[in-house]
Amino acid sequence: MANDKISVVGTNIAEKASMIWNVADMLRGPFKPHEYGLVILPMTVVKRFHDCLQPTWQNVQDTYEKVKKLAVIDGFLMNASGYQFYNTSKFTFDKLLADPDNIEANFRDYLSGFSSNVQDVLSKFDFDNIIKRLVESNTLYLTIKEFNSPKGYLGPDKISAVDCGYIFEDLVRRFSESFGEEAGAHFTSRDIIYLMTDLLLSDADLAKAGNVTVYDMTMGTSQMLSCMEERIHDLNSDIEVTCFGQEFNPSTFAIAKADMMIRGGDPNNMRFGDTLSDDQFKGYTFQYCISNPPFGIDWKREQKAVEKEASQGEMGRFSPGLPKISDGQQLFVLNGLSKLASNGKMAIIQNGSPLFSGDAESGPSEIRRYILENDWLDAIVQLSTDQFMNTGISTYIWVCSKDKPAHRAGKVQLIDASHCFEPRRKSIGTKRNDITDHCRSLIVQAYGEFRNDAIYGEKDGVYCWSKIFDTEDFGYYKITVERPERDEQGNPVMKKGKPVPDANLRDTENVPMKEDIRDYFEREVLPYAPDAWIDEKKTKVGYEIPMTRYFYEYQTPEPAEDILARITQLEADISASLQALFHKEL
């Protein structure tokens, strides 16, 4: 597996998730396969809450009797439970199963005893309607019984908060797969997350205790946040880590909020809503941002709100420009940058289009220009294909920083890690490759050493390749080259003493920003079109980052005689096989 911790606990976590998912055996019939998760996910959350609260159940009961007539009781009951939530119901799972004839009424009483923050979690699962269906199909008692068996135990003495996060993650993946949904919308594998965390923290000064804030704008089940917290505490256990996240999918939001409550964080920092059209963190800034926003997804639903905010200029998040309506991932980049503190750093996953899509002064190009001219782009790491379970395309980690160290100022590091992976023994969807510990160490070393044209690893095996560029290397001037319209005698047509441009002969050229436009024009255009000129009013500025071009290596074609020899051998083999076949039939 991709991480030491995963390799130690991975089998147990997978087994526990499989045992929980096997509850689906009794759901067959009343629920279709793609609906199993509608039962299993909320029941897992409820059982985790139940098992966490069991040791302090009597203490909460006693405290409730003392304070139930007070106007404000949350603080007393949270202190009694030891968590940011509680349950005042007299029922436990054992007591529920002791009275099967009243299972529905008693279970609803049990659920209503939870604190309001748990009620918010359950409402996002639409759990009330699920209970009705379980009752109608006579499976509510059996489901509770199954979750109350030893294999369904989820107490913190056996399952740590980190391990429980793995279980939730695995269950969400199973649900997404059974639903025929793009599971990548909710699921980023740990090998990728740990690479992102290590890139963010590789140069962090965490020697002193203090508070670190981490934000995920598309948090899913909040596993990126929990991984960041884990990594920071590995470096300094005394540092307080405060996590913030926003999520638009109700069920994954519910899991994220539940996970935060169980880990002892502030559940109010987990907020529901569409990040693009309903920003829940206006005015907030964070030290770290880590995120895997959706890519290749249109933003038509958010268009009105996004365009309204873009019209506010620098008062909004989207003033630099807007991407194509068919792909909103650059909007998430802008949102993340707007949330970074002056010393903030972000790692965000993108596909290839933000590197080069859009012409000069188009929305995508202007967004790149905004990032580069502010010197916020620190590095881009190209991952291999087949890294995600829902897509086999190449993906990239953009590392942005608002406080680059002096030696990185004005520079951008590109790391081609497309060869830095190990094939999985068993694929998960389209995820066939893993970033192992060795791979991750190579990439993080390359990032940390910041060397140009440096290879890390073995070129004929697992390796990554680092190159360093000036920010201006990605800029260009798009010039418009005009040539005159000519009359029947071949003479230029003049108007007010100037040649009239021929629209049919008009052309454009991209001139590298580091090069003088006039020098380029005299070298590349005038020798072939002596009558040409530049319409300077039409000159535009563009930015693109063509990573493939920068790391392209010419491959010498196979000699023709070798190709001929292979073809001849193939023909001979086929001929021999056919002769053997016909001879056998005869």
In this prediction, residues 18-32 reach a mean pLDDT of 84
The predicted structure's pLDDT at residue 9: 40
Task: Tell me the per-residue pLDDT of 223-233, one tens digit each, with 9 for 90 and over.
Answer: 899 999 999 99
Tell me how far apart the alpha carbons of residues 43 and 50 are, in angstroms, rounded to a whole number: 10
Strand 286-291 relative to strand 340-350: parallel, antiparallel, unpaired? parallel
Beta strands in 307-458 (DSSP E): 340-350, 377-382, 396-401, 411-416, 422-428, 431-434, 454-457
Which runs of consecutive H residues, i.e. helices, occur in 498-559? 517-524, 547-550
Which residue, among 368, 367, 363, 456, has the nearest Cα to 416 in the 3D structure? Answer: 456
CB 292 within 8 A of CB 218: yes
CB 281 within 8 A of CB 271: yes
The predicted structure's pLDDT at residue 18: 83
Ranges 161-165, 278-282, 430-434, 495-499, most confident: 278-282
Considering the chain, what percentage of its residues have pLDDT values greater than 90? 71
- Which residues, 6 or more positions from 315, have their beta carbon under 8 angstroms from its beta carbon? none
The predicted structure's pLDDT at residue 421: 94
pLDDT band per the 50, 70, 90 thresholds, residue 12: low
Q: Kindly tell me if the per-residue pLDDT of 263 is higher than 90.
A: no
The predicted structure's pLDDT at residue 1: 35
**Both ends of the chain: CA-CA distance in Å?**
54
CB 176 within 8 A of CB 182: yes
The predicted structure's pLDDT at residue 195: 97
In this prediction, residues 134-159 reach a mean pLDDT of 92
Tell me how far apart the alpha carbons of residues 360 and 548 are, in angstroms, rounded to a whole number: 19
Q: Kindly tell me if the per-residue pLDDT of 586 is higher than 60.
A: no
Q: Kindly tell me if the per-residue pLDDT of 28 is higher than 90.
A: no
The predicted structure's pLDDT at residue 21: 84
DSSP string, 10-23: HHHHHHHHHHHHGG
Which residue, among 261, 22, 17, 270, has the nearest Cα to 163 in the 3D structure? Answer: 17
Strand 396-401 relative to strand 377-382: parallel, antiparallel, unpaired? antiparallel
The predicted structure's pLDDT at residue 161: 78
pLDDT band per the 50, 70, 90 thresholds, residue 214: very high
pTM of the model: 0.87
Q: Count Cα neighbours of 204 within 13 Å in the Cβ-side half-sphere.
A: 26
Q: Kindly tell me if the per-residue pLDDT of 205 is higher than 90.
A: no
Which residue, among 151, 78, 149, 167, has the nearest Cα to 118 in the 3D structure? Answer: 78
Q: Count Cα neighbours of 74 within 13 Å in the Cβ-side half-sphere.
A: 7
Task: Tell me the per-residue pLDDT of 434-482, one tens digit each, with 9 for 90 and over.
Answer: 999 999 999 999 999 999 999 999 999 999 999 999 999 999 999 999 9
The predicted structure's pLDDT at residue 8: 35
Which runs of consecutive H residues, i.e. helices, occur in 469-513? none
Q: Kindly tell me if the per-residue pLDDT of 123 is higher than 60.
A: yes
- What are the structural domains, with CATH classification, of the chain? 4-176 (no CATH), 182-473 (3.40.50.150), 474-547 (no CATH)
Which residue, among 147, 132, 20, 28, has the nearest Cα to 96 in the 3D structure? Answer: 147
Task: Tell me the per-residue pLDDT of 406-428, one tens digit each, with 9 for 90 and over.
Answer: 999 999 999 999 999 999 888 77
H or E element in which residue 528 lies: none
Q: Kindly tell me if the per-residue pLDDT of 504 is higher than 90.
A: yes
Residue 504 buriedness (CB in 10 A; 0-12 / 13-18 / 19+): exposed
Residue 299 to residues 176, 225, 279, 294, 306: CA-CA distances in angstroms? 22, 25, 15, 10, 9
169 or 402, which is more confident: 402
pLDDT band per the 50, 70, 90 thresholds, residue 553: confident
The predicted structure's pLDDT at residue 555: 78
Sign of the Cα torsion 35, 37, 43, 45 reads negative
The predicted structure's pLDDT at residue 184: 42
Task: Point out which residues pair with 428 in neighbouring strands.
Answer: 431
In this prediction, residues 304-317 reach a mean pLDDT of 95
Which residue, among 462, 466, 460, has the nearest Cα to 446 in the 3D structure? Answer: 466
Own/partner contacts of 448-451, CB < 8 Å, gap of 24 or more, are 448/202, 448/203, 450/407, 450/408, 450/411, 450/413
CB 163 within 8 A of CB 13: yes
The predicted structure's pLDDT at residue 176: 66
Q: Kindly tell me if the per-residue pLDDT of 585 is higher than 60.
A: no
Residue 166 to residues 235, 249, 259, 534, 554: CA-CA distances in angstroms? 21, 19, 11, 60, 43
Q: Kindly tell me if the per-residue pLDDT of 131 is higher than 60.
A: yes
Q: Kindly tell me if the per-residue pLDDT of 26 is higher than 80.
A: yes
Strand 270-272 relative to strand 211-216: parallel, antiparallel, unpaired? unpaired
In the block, residue with structure tokens 């203090």: 210
CA angle 424, 426, 431 (to 5 degrees): 65
Residue 156 token pair: 């913190």
Q: Kindly tell me if the per-residue pLDDT of 237 is higher than 80.
A: yes
In this prediction, residues 371-376 reach a mean pLDDT of 98
In this prediction, residues 375-404 reach a mean pLDDT of 92
Which residue, among 437, 84, 440, has the nearest Cα to 264 in the 3D structure? Answer: 84
Which residue, among 468, 464, 478, 450, has the nearest Cα to 534 in the 3D structure? Answer: 478
CB 203 within 8 A of CB 405: yes
Residue 579 token pair: 């002769």
The predicted structure's pLDDT at residue 175: 75
pLDDT band per the 50, 70, 90 thresholds, residue 5: very low
In this prediction, residues 153-163 reach a mean pLDDT of 86
In 3-state terms, what secondary structure has residue 324? coil
Strand 431-434 relative to strand 422-428: parallel, antiparallel, unpaired? antiparallel
In this prediction, residues 59-70 reach a mean pLDDT of 95
The predicted structure's pLDDT at residue 11: 42
Mean of the per-residue pLDDT values of the chain: 90
Q: Kindly tell me if the per-residue pLDDT of 181 is higher than 60.
A: no
438 or 297, which is more confident: 438
CA angle 263, 267, 270 (to 5 degrees): 110
